[in-house]
Amino acid sequence: MVKRKERIACILSLEGADWVSCKTIVPNLFKLYKKSFPEAEIKTFHYADSMEDYEYFLTISGLVDFLPDKIIICDHKPHPARLIRSLFKEFGEDRVPSVYCHLFGDFSLYAPHWWDLEFYLQRMNIHFIAASHRQVNFVKQFIEGGEEFVSYLPFPADDKKFCFSKDKRKSARNKFFPHGRNETRFLYSGRLSAQKNTISLIRSFKDFLTLSGSNASLHIVGFFDDLAYPFFGIHYPPELNRYEFLEELNSYDDSIKSRIEFVENLSSDQLIDYYQACDVLVSTGLHNDEDYGMSPAEAKCCGMSLILSNWGGYASFSLPDAFTSLVNVSLVDSFYQVDYKHFIKLLIKYDTTKKTDEDRKKLSSMAVKRFGIDGNIPHLLDIHSLKIKKFSSWNRKFQKFSGCFKNSSSNPFGLINSPKKNELGLKDLIEEGLQSKSIYRSCYNEYVDFA
């Protein structure tokens, strides 16, 4: 008798990804599964919260007919609450396939959904896969016996595109920097927003140039967004972040301004050229949920050095090499802050530490093995060899955490965060707000290393 092939169902969003990084992450994850399970029958199923009942019925019916051995949730939206409830209804409690859920940075935003799903999770075999070591710690702190339910696997970079090439580097340097090709080129790539601290980044770079007299330059490639600090109820009007960034940059003397280049909305191929041409990727972001970072992964695969804030998923890029440094982060008045004096010292260090092409080649090779698609095949197989089990339970800490988002998704940890705010006096509101901030600190301390 011919043995039945293993069947794997990959759940993808019917709608496009909200985040630019997810437009890369999701296809790369799918490639990783195809390469890791070449003998399996892998089928994709697309769904969205906006689907009409009949469309959704057809999707679930197709999933049931496929009879998968395991289900992989590898997209950041929609939250799988509706899907998981449907699995119980259609398969029956004893026949629900094992579920592997890749977590994204919006895990926090969906905390109330996860809390409400506990009844179903406790009756199914489920395993969470986080993209960084600190996200693993962040998630497992909310689960009774969390060690058994969360594993680490980085979102893979396409190492066929993002890898070091001596010829491509030379060509890109000649194209972008026909004059002064030996000067150090620092690069920031990604979203320009308040939480990414891009204004503080250029201020610090200005101070670095003034202090050191260096001829280095900073190249900022990316796009603006209007995200401010929604976890604390701070929201920006449209275009404010763009205005403030450009106002700051235009206030500099020409001698400084000429050393800071800003380029919007590059194509993937153009971005690769910048990764090849530049020397050091920098980011001092403290984003709400910096669970990973595709820019550091892709840049390191191209052989770039990294200077990153010691926050969240960035710490996982600190491989044992001489070309990655983490900037100190501290807690000041209930808020996490980057030590920009330390950052400037690192800029000076990396400006005077030149890598050879051989150094870049070795760094690229090491990064590709850890963050590339092919390099993660054995790690994914290790995760899938684990005996996964029925979920235990969310703990009291997660109840408090998810409760903050349930009270106000647009201001979960703000000073005035209460569904009873019209009934309470100012003293009570301040007390509730301080409790919310305490919950924030106790949970997000998993994202930082104060040592």
71 neighbors 45 (Cβ within 8 angstroms): no
Task: Tell me the CATH number for domain 166-372.
Answer: 3.40.50.2000
Q: Where does the pLDDT of residue 418 fall: very low under 50, low under 70, confident under 90, or very high at 90 and above?
A: very low
pLDDT the model gives residue 451 = 56
Q: How many other CB atoms sit within 10 Å of the CB of residue 252?
A: 17
Do 7-156+378-385 and 166-372 have matching folds? yes
Q: What is the mean pLDDT of residues 154-163?
A: 95
270 neighbors 220 (Cβ within 8 angstroms): no
Q: ∠ CA 409-414-417 to the nearest 5 degrees? A: 65
125 neighbors 118 (Cβ within 8 angstroms): no
366: closest CA among 326, 323, 310, 327?
323
Q: Which CATH number fits domain 7-156+378-385: 3.90.230.10, 3.40.50.11740, 3.40.50.2000, 3.40.50.2020?
A: 3.40.50.2000
pLDDT the model gives residue 317 = 94
Q: Where does the pLDDT of residue 434 fall: very low under 50, low under 70, confident under 90, or very high at 90 and above?
A: low
Alpha-helix residue ranges (DSSP H) falling in 52-190: 53-66, 81-91, 111-116, 118-121, 133-140, 166-176
In the chain, pLDDT over 90 holds for what percent of residues?
73
pLDDT digits (tens, 9 = 90+) for 345-392: 999 999 998 889 999 999 999 999 999 999 999 999 999 999 999 999
The label of the residue with tokens 């009949």 reads 54
Q: Please give the structure tokens belonging to residue 70.
A: 């395991």
Q: How many other CB atoms sit within 10 Å of the CB of residue 91?
A: 17
Distances (CA, A) of 385 to 112, 130, 314, 379, 381: 30, 17, 27, 10, 6
Q: What is the mean pLDDT of residues 179-191?
A: 87
Q: Where does the pLDDT of residue 419 fall: very low under 50, low under 70, confident under 90, or very high at 90 and above?
A: very low
288 neighbors 181 (Cβ within 8 angstroms): no
228 neighbors 286 (Cβ within 8 angstroms): no
SS3 332: strand
Written as one letter, the residue type at 106 is D
SS3 307: strand
pLDDT the model gives residue 432 = 53
Q: What is the mean pLDDT of residues 109-124?
A: 96
pLDDT digits (tens, 9 = 90+) for 266-302: 888 899 999 999 999 999 999 888 889 999 999 999 9
Written as one letter, the residue type at 346 is L
The label of the residue with tokens 């409790």 reads 435
Q: Where do the structural domains in the chain lie, given as residue ranges?
A: 7-156+378-385, 166-372
Q: Is the pLDDT of residue 423 over 80?
A: no
Distance CA 103, CA 135 (A): 9
pLDDT the model gives residue 197 = 95
**In terms of residues, how long is the chain?**
451
Q: Is the pLDDT of residue 429 over 50?
A: no
Distances (CA, A) of 294 to 12, 31, 190, 285, 384: 19, 16, 9, 13, 24
- List CB contacts of 306: < 8 A, sequence separation 6 or more: 280, 281, 282, 296, 299, 300, 317, 323, 324, 325
Distance CA 133, CA 316 (A): 6
Q: Is the pLDDT of residue 433 over 70?
A: no
Q: What is the mean pLDDT of residues 30-55?
A: 93
pLDDT the model gives residue 16 = 61
Cis preceding-peptide flag for 78 (omega within 30 of 0) = yes
SS3 386: coil
Q: What is the mean pLDDT of the chain?
A: 90
Distance CA 271, CA 429 (A): 47
Distance CA 414, CA 427 (A): 15
Q: Where does the pLDDT of residue 182 fall: very low under 50, low under 70, confident under 90, or very high at 90 and above?
A: confident
Q: Report the run of H or E that residue 165 belongs to, with start and end.
A: none
Q: What is the mean pLDDT of residues 239-256?
A: 95
Specify the pairing of strand 98-102 against strand 41-47: unpaired
In the chain, pLDDT over 70 holds for what percent of residues?
92
The label of the residue with tokens 């090709």 reads 181
The label of the residue with tokens 């060690």 reads 147
Written as one letter, the residue type at 252 is Y
pTM, whole model, 2 decimals? 0.93
Q: Please give the structure tokens belonging to residue 224.
A: 């603006």
